[in-house]
């Protein structure tokens, strides 16, 4: 492992444009998202977090975090902690619950959440974190032929970081193909558990992604909080490739602090440069549905080649959580929010 400095502020700023030469994209917050949805089964109120969306066969699949049941609503044999929900859609707007991933291994018994899905060789590979173990939380792996029923990797957890810069915790998994390797991005905290940062590991693309296959790619973070709006937290990396560049959408700031979404780019997946000193997607104004935050992004490309940014938001400091999406537009290698957004379903 070779240490290298965290990415520094880039020069490609997403600056406001004059109305006369403004393209069909802007930065900022979105008042009416293209989609706004949440499951209500656990708490009898909207509560879903951490979206990851893929196209698989004739439909879209969204994986997300489900909260624990309150004791009065939990069945005798029901899960005590967080789990992963699965919803399906044919249009990216209307979603239907289709299943759940409940704890199935000893390492998951306190909970599992924050999924990151990727399709490889006709199978869905899901990377996700354990929850409830503090600095011992780590990344796990499962795979599926139909996107609904998953087989767990026997060697779970497959990865946790090492080095004197990290507490050893790994959360918010995201996988991306880089050359002949699968890069696994994750968030971790410093030994004092105060500052959240992003790191990366890699495994051969043709491997089974078991624990022995992963190699930490740097003895330090590849992105850490540097800007005022990022406060002490960068987490939830989500990636897509456009041409020769990788783009990482990430959450800055802890939940409801407020959390907002920024963007960085890279040619090698290791060295990252921010595209702006300001967030791409901010929290909403007072009274709007996402006034507490717009956070934990999940980016995806649909079958027409359009790109969508999924995220979580709320206006009550986390009593409820909705999942939403906004279409991205691109100019000169820079993403922006396409306006006006499509009016979605009201919840």
Q: Is the pLDDT assigned to residue 7 strictly greater than 60?
A: no
Rounded CA-CA distance 118/75 in Å is: 32
Mean of the pLDDT values across residues 73-84?
A: 89
As assigned by CATH, the class of the 19-338 domain is mainly beta
Cut 0.75: pTM above it: yes
Residue 257 half-sphere exposure toward CB, CA atoms < 13 A: 17
Compare 233 and 77 and report the one with higher pLDDT.
233
pLDDT band at 186 (very low <50, low <70, confident <90, very high): very high
pLDDT digits (tens, 9 = 90+) for 98-108: 999 999 999 99
Report pLDDT for 28: 73
3-state per-residue secondary structure call for 299-319: EEECCCCCEEEEEEEECCCCC
Compare 260 and 340 and report the one with higher pLDDT.
260
DSSP letters along 103-136, please? --SGGGTTBEEEEEEEEETTEEEEEEEE-SSGGG
**Sequence-distant (≥ 6) Cβ neighbours of residue 169 within 8 angstroms:** 134, 135, 136, 137, 138, 160, 161, 188, 189, 193
State which H helix or E strand residue 263 sits in: strand 260-266
Place of tokens 């700031």: 253
Query: Is the backbone peptide bond immediately before 116 cis, with ω within 30 degrees of 0?
Result: no
* Sheet containing strand 151-152, strands side by side: 112-120, 123-130, 139-144, 151-152
Report pLDDT for 6: 35
Report pLDDT for 33: 87
Rounded CA-CA distance 226/234 in Å is: 9
Mean of the pLDDT values across residues 134-142?
A: 98
Report pLDDT for 34: 83
pLDDT digits (tens, 9 = 90+) for 37-70: 999 999 999 999 999 999 999 999 999 999 999 9
Report pLDDT for 79: 84
Report pLDDT for 176: 98
pLDDT digits (tens, 9 = 90+) for 272-297: 999 999 999 999 999 899 999 999 99
∠80-156-206 over CA atoms, to 5°? 140
- Backbone Cα Rg of the chain: 19
Q: Is the pLDDT assigned to residue 340 strictly greater than 60?
A: no
Report pLDDT for 77: 81
Q: Is the pLDDT assigned to residue 1 strictly greater than 60?
A: no
**DSSP state letter for 180:** T
């Amino acid at each position: 492992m070779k240490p290298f400095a965290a990415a520094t502020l880039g020069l490609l700023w997403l600056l406001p444009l004059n109305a006369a030469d403004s393209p069909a994209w802007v930065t900022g917050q979105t008042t009416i998202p293209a989609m706004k949805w949440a499951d209500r089964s656990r708490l009898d109120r909207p509560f879903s977090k951490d979206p990851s969306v893929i196209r698989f066969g004739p439909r879209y699949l969204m994986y997300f975090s489900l909260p624990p049941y309150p004791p009065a609503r939990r069945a005798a044999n029901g899960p005590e902690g967080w789990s992963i929900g699965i919803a399906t859609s044919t249009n990216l707007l209307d979603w239907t619950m289709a299943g759940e991933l409940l704890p199935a291994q000893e390492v998951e018994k306190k909970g599992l959440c924050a999924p990151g899905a990727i399709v490889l060789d006709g199978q869905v590979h899901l990377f996700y974190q354990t929850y409830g173990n503090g600095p011992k939380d780590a990344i796990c792996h499962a795979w599926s032929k139909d996107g609904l029923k998953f087989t767990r990797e026997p060697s779970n957890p497959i990865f946790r970081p090492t080095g004197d810069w990290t507490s050893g915790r790994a959360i918010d998994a995201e996988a991306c193909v880089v050359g002949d390797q699968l890069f696994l991005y994750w968030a971790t905290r410093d030994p004092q558990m105060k500052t959240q940062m992003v790191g990366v590991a890699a495994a051969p693309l043709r491997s089974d992604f078991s624990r022995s296959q992963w190699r930490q790619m740097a003895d330090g973070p590849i992105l850490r909080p540097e800007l005022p709006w990022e406060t002490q937290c960068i987490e939830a990396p989500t990636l897509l490739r456009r041409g020769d560049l990788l783009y990482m959408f990430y959450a800055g700031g802890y939940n409801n602090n407020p959390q907002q979404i920024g963007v960085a780019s890279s040619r090698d997946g290791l060295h990252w440069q921010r595209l702006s000193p300001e967030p791409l997607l901010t929290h909403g104004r007072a009274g709007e549905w996402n006034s507490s935050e717009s956070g934990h992004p999940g980016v995806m490309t649909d079958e027409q080649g359009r790109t969508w940014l999924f995220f979580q938001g709320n206006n009550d400091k986390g009593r409820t959580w909705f999942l939403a999406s906004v279409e991205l537009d691109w100019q000169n290698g820079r993403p922006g929010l396409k306006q006006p957004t499509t009016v979605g379903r009201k919840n």
